[in-house]
Amino acid sequence: MGTNSEPLITLCVSGFPGTNRSLMNLEKTTGLSRHFVLRGSDAKAIDVKFYLEYIKEGKPKCVLFGGWSPVYDIFLKTLGNKKTEFGVYWTSSPGQIDISEEIKYMDFLLNSAKVKHRLFAHKELASALSGCTRDVRHLPDTVLFPEDEVEKKQRGGNNGFVISLFCSPFEYRRKNILNSLLALSMMKGGYILYLNGLSGNEFYLDVLKALKIRYADFGWMSDEEYRRVLDEVDLGLQVSFAETFNYVAAEHIVKRIPVITSRMVPVMDCMPGDIRKRTVVDDPDSACEIRGKIEYFIGNPSHLNPLGARMYNCLMRENESRIKTASEVLNSIIKRSKG
């Protein structure tokens, strides 16, 4: 069947795009894990059977699941008596857990005897839980900076001002979509909004029409298409109510595209005060405040490139420290696991 000898395997169902991104990035930034995406949540699916055999054959020291899905049960049951240990990498913040009704899965994670390693991307959540539950650690998100991508585009130029509002269809509530749309509707135009599927929702489609927002919806995109579309974006909108990191914001910054966020978007924590003043909204439930931030950039398009470059440098420095921490955590799991 080919050879496999990875000590640490990560598995995640395709329905969790943020967690998959996180685990794919950890694979590439630390070089310590190997990540696989499960196609769905059917325990009898052929890809599940493939990975069960793959893991049995390779005998990794540890398998980490991304989030929690009932399909992971079959791995615990089938491989539970082997030497492989199991862990869960939880990427939701406490607010996200409540908003997205994930509490029953987190309850399982905290109480399952079969789960040996409990890893949380949200630092405060890990810190709070480590006082009352064993084997809890903080495993930070990391960002992949492509070596060959040097973006020099003049943003906000002659092709119209492109604003993005990208998120998974399961996350509209948490991503604060309505306030973002209201903010745009209060402006006098001069922009086009790029979406990745929002208009496929009949209610948001009606809102887009009622608010007379000019938009282009690309639907759910492949990674390649997403990167190409991002190249056309001048300004990102990610004014979320709750976040652990916010990969969409990070992916804009990696392309040197400024992003307007809420205070709840941790990827912005590494930015200095003057950048935060221009980009971070204090009250995400205020469409007027969001509008003010957008209007600044539409009125000052020459500020986009220098600001985007500074944001890029800040994130790159922050990322080095994140990769170091993540590598220490993954190395300690590999060393501690008995397999």
Contact residues for other proteins, defined by CB under 8 A: 1-4, 20, 24, 27, 35-37, 39, 46-47, 49-50, 53-54
Q: Minimum distance from CB of 14 to other proteins (Å)?
A: 9
Give the whole-angstrom CA distance, residue 153 versus residue 163: 15
Nearer to other proteins, 2 or 131 (CB): 2
| SS3 of residue 236 by DSSP | strand
Q: Tell me how far, at minimum, the Cβ of 193 lies from other proteins, in Å.
A: 31
Nearer residue to other proteins within complex by CB, 172 or 226: 226
> CA 49 to CA 62: how far, in whole Å?
18
Q: What minimum distance in Å lies between the beta carbon of 30 and other proteins?
A: 15
Structure token digits, residue 218: 């690309």
Of 44 and 338, the one with the shorter C-beta distance to other proteins is: 44
- Other beta carbons within 10 Å of 10: 26
Report d(CA 124, CA 298) in Å as an integer.
36
**Closest among 258, 240, 268, 265 to 308, alpha carbons compared:** 258
User: Which lies closer to other proteins via its Cβ, residue 46 or residue 132?
Assistant: 46
Instruction: Decide whether 27 or 85 has the Cβ nearer to other proteins.
Output: 27
Please report how close the Cβ of residue 7 comes to other proteins at its closest, in angstroms: 15
Identify which of residues 37 and 275 has a Cβ nearer to other proteins in the complex. 37
Rg for the chain, CA atoms, rounded: 21
What ranges make up the beta strands (E) of 91-233? 115-120, 136-138, 161-165, 191-195, 215-217
Nearer to other proteins, 20 or 199 (CB): 20
- Nearest approach in angstroms of CB 304 to other proteins is 33
The order of strands in the sheet holding 34-38 is 34-38, 8-13, 62-66, 85-90, 115-120, 136-138
Helix axes 223-230, 247-254, angle to 10 degrees: 60
Beta carbons of 194 and 218 less than 8 angstroms apart:
yes
Tell me how far, at minimum, the Cβ of 73 lies from other proteins, in Å: 19
Least Cβ distance, residue 64 to other proteins (angstroms)? 14
